[in-house]
Amino acid sequence: MFGLEDQKKKKQPEEFVFDLEKELKNPQKNREIKQKVEAKIQKIKDQLRSGENQSDFDRFGTLLHGYNALMKVISRFGTKK
């Protein structure tokens, strides 16, 4: 009635799934990604501690924050699913 019949027949749109979510479902791939990210975090921390690249200090800091955020996502995904 009043054009609402079509809405009932329409299917619900599929939920978008990121490629990272698909990869993190596999426990082996999850461990590999986590190890790679941890290694990159350590490299960035070593660069920041050495103080050699003063011009790239802000860039390394931004990268470090990004990788830390990724580690939070990985850890939360592992506990939820």
38-60 pLDDT tens trace: 999 999 999 999 887 788 889 99
8-34 pLDDT tens trace: 666 677 788 889 888 888 899 999 999
Domain boundaries, the chain: 38-80
Q: Which amino acid belongs to residue 13?
A: P
In a 3-state reduction of DSSP, which class is residue 11?
coil
**Quick one: pLDDT at residue 5?**
64
Whole-prediction pTM: 0.72
**Quick one: pLDDT at residue 15?**
85
Distances from the Cα of 18 to the Cα of 11, 13, 15, 21, 32, angstroms: 21, 15, 10, 5, 18
Tokens at 4, concatenated: 């609402």
